[in-house]
Homo-oligomer: A and B are copies of this chain.
Amino acid sequence: MPITVYNTLTRRKETFQPISAGRVHLYVCGPTVYDHAHIGHAKTYVAFDAIVRFLRYAGYQVRYVQNITDVGHILDSGEDRILKGAARERLEPMEVVERYTRSYFEDMDALGVQRPDISPRASAHIPEQIELTKRLIEKGHAYEVDGSVYFDVRSFPEYGKLSGRRLEELEDGARVAVRDDKRHPEDFALWKKAPPEHILRWPSPWGWGYPGWHIECSAMATKYLGETFDIHGGGVDNIFPHNECEIAQSEAAFGRPFANYWLLTGSLTLDGVKMSKSLGNVLTIKDALRRWRPEAIRFFILSGLYRSPIDFSDEAVDAALKGWERAIGPALAVRERLRAPGLPDGGAAEIAPALAEIKERFVAAMSDDFNTPIALSVLFDLARLTNQLLHAESPAGRGALEAVEALYRELAGQVLGLLPPADTAAGNAEREAALIRLLIEMRAEARARKDFAASDKIRDRLRAAGVILEDGKTGTTWKFG
A: residues with CB less than 8 A from B are 63, 92, 94-95, 98, 102, 115-121, 123-128, 131, 202-203, 224, 329, 332-333, 336-337, 339-340, 342-343, 395, 425-436, 438-439, 442, 445, 454, 458, 461-462, 464-467, 473-475, 477-480
In the complex, which residues of chain B have a beta carbon less than 8 angstroms from the beta carbon of A432? 427-428, 431-432, 435
| Chain B positions within 8 Å of A119 at CB level | 98
Given contacts A95-B117, A98-B116, A98-B119, 18 further A-B contacts (CB under 8 A): A94-B224, A95-B118, A123-B124, A127-B202, A329-B479, A336-B479, A342-B474, A426-B428, A427-B429, A427-B431, A427-B432, A431-B432, A431-B465, A431-B480, A434-B461, A434-B465, A438-B462, A442-B458
The 8 tightest CB contacts between A and B, nearest first, are A427-B427, A124-B124, A434-B465, A427-B432, A427-B429, A435-B435, A425-B429, A426-B426
Q: Give the distance in Å from the alpha carbon of A438 to the alpha carbon of B464 in the complex.
A: 11
Docked complex Cα distance between A115 and B475 (Å): 42
Inside 8 A of A475's CB, which chain B residues have their CB?
A: 340, 342
Residues B332 and A434 in contact, CB atoms below 8 Å apart = no
A390 and chain B: residue at smallest CB distance: B472
A427 and B467 CA atoms in complex are apart in Å by 12
**In the complex, chain B residues whose CB is within 8 Å of the CB of A464:** 434
Residues of B within 8 A of A479 (CB): 329, 332-333, 336
For A477, the chain B residues whose CB sits under 8 A away are 333, 336-337, 340
CA distance A127 to B131 in the complex (A): 12
A442 to B102, CA, bound (A): 47
Q: Which interface residue of A429, A439, A473 has the most chain B CB atoms within 10 A? A: A429
Most B CB contacts (10 A, CB to CB) among A126, A336, A454, A474 go to: A474
Copies in the complex: 2
| CB pair B131 A203 closer than 8 Å | yes
A202 to chain B: closest residue by CB: B127
Nearest Cβ distance between residue A191 and chain B, in whole angstroms? 13
Name the residue on B nearest A225 (C-beta): B92
Q: Is the CB of A92 within 8 A of B473?
A: no
Least CB separation from A454: chain B residue: B445
Most B CB within 10 A of own CB, among A95, A337, A435: A435
Query: Complex Cα distance A329/B480, Å?
Result: 10
Residue pair A118, B98 in contact (C-beta under 8 Å): yes
How many angstroms from the CA of A257 to the CA of B428 in the assembled complex? 53
B431 touching A428 by the CB < 8 A rule? no
A342 to B125, CA, bound (A): 63
**A29 to chain B: closest CB distance in Å?**
18
Tell me the bound Cα distance from A429 to B435 in angstroms. 12
* 15 A/B residue pairs, CB under 8 Å, sorted by A: A63-B92, A92-B224, A94-B224, A124-B125, A127-B203, A329-B479, A340-B474, A428-B466, A434-B461, A435-B435, A435-B436, A435-B462, A438-B461, A439-B439, A442-B454
